[in-house]
Amino acid sequence: MSVTLEQVNAVVGTRLPSFTYSFTTRDTVIYALGIGAPADWLDPDELRFVYDHSPEFVAIPTMASIYSGELIRYILTGDLQGIKFNPLMLVHGEQQIDIRQPLPTSGEITCQPIISAIYDKGSGMVVVTDVDCQNAAGETVAMTQAAMFIRGLGDFGGDRGPSSKVNLPPDRMPDVIHEESTLTTQALLYRLSGDGNPLHADPSAAAFAGFDMPILHGLATYGF
């Protein structure tokens, strides 16, 4: 599959149809479990993320990143406003969230997505989407931005986009070493929050994409 610069220019700036993310306290708990909470469920400060009967029950702020799950499912159709690709070649590259107010633990969030940029990285294409997430009162709860990397869909003559700053660690022993481990089944649990890409669950799909085994969602480690 290939893409032309004309196709890309026609897509950038497109406002996609708005959609509503409806969720309950159960979904809020499932998200928290999917990113590895709680570190210690006997600790009240941790239990409040996963126990909806806690008087201090709250949503973990990074949950805003899954409000636009419907957008991910749209992109996984492999047809981005006429730009066609194999969904198994898609990986989540970057994510940003701008929290405007405390996240609700249940309710409805209306999301208005826009394709804000597409960059040519040579080996692939980066698609940047911005989403305005609003509550029932029309107030912006969060703004999110995601960068999706589609392998094999580059070299169309487009802008490479901004380069990330190189953050080299100092050449000395670290001040502190802290290690954490995810569950071997973490991806199977996290996918219950809406990202059903088979790359994260099906060994044959992962092998087709060039991985030894299903990989963990980038957004799972983002919240971990």
Q: Is 218 labeled as catalytic in the residue annotation?
A: yes
Q: Is 217 labeled as catalytic in the residue annotation?
A: no
Q: How far apart are CA 206 and CA 8, in angstroms?
A: 28
Residue from 66, 97, 118, 195 carrying the catalytic annotation: 195
Q: How far apart are CA 221 and CA 172, in angstroms?
A: 27
Q: Is 200 labeled as catalytic in the residue annotation?
A: yes
Residue from 83, 118, 150, 200 carrying the catalytic annotation: 200
Helix (H) or strand (E) holding 96: strand 90-99
The residue with tokens 């149809």 is 17
Q: How far apart are CA 217 and CA 195, in angstroms?
A: 8
Rg (CA), the chain: 19
Q: Is 92 labeled as catalytic in the residue annotation?
A: no
Which residues have C-beta within 8 Å of that of residue 171, sequence separation ≥ 6?
Answer: none
**Cβ neighbour number for residue 15 with a 10 Å cutoff:** 9
Q: How far apart are CA 206 and CA 215, in angstroms?
A: 7
Q: How far apart are CA 19 and CA 125, in angstroms?
A: 25
Nearest to 127 by CA among 1, 14, 29: 14
Residue pair 76/88 in contact (Cβ under 8 Å)? The answer is: no
The catalytic residue positions are: 195, 200, 215, 218
